[in-house]
Amino acid sequence: MDSVIEALLRAYNGHVETFASAGDYSGETEAPTGAFCRVVIDDEFVSWAVSEFADVVDAYGGLDAAGRDQLVAFGPTLIRLGDSGTLEWRSFSSKSDLDSQYERLEQEYAAWCDD
């Protein structure tokens, strides 16, 4: 079973087309890249996500201060969801590092689509 943080990231990734800009998500779960998105997780994002996905957070008994701090510490983050339902995320030290990794995944996904 996911932790509340994993469940929140999974909920965001599952609805990313509704909430993110078109250039911040790509892929599909069947691709080697998975479905992926980039987001800067900060206080504002966490407040919004906890409100937007209140049903998810409530199902886990809420997000305590330690969980909130842990989530905010992620900062620039790449979230990936694979076809087996495996959720992965990776934090980066800067937005430019996140953008570089996102672009690499975009290229890998485009090459897979061309095959």
pLDDT tens-place string over residues 58-94:
999 999 999 999 999 999 999 999 888 889 999 999 9
Q: How confident is the model at residue 22 (pLDDT cuts 50, 70, 90)?
A: confident
Share of the chain above pLDDT 90, in %: 77
* Sheet containing 87-91: order of strands: 25-27, 35-41, 75-81, 87-91
Task: Give the pTM.
Answer: 0.88
d(Cα 37, Cα 80) in Å, to the nearest integer?
A: 7
Whether 20 shows a pLDDT value over 90: the answer reads no
What pLDDT score does 70 carry?
93
Can you read off the two tokens belonging to residue 34?
A: 């998975």
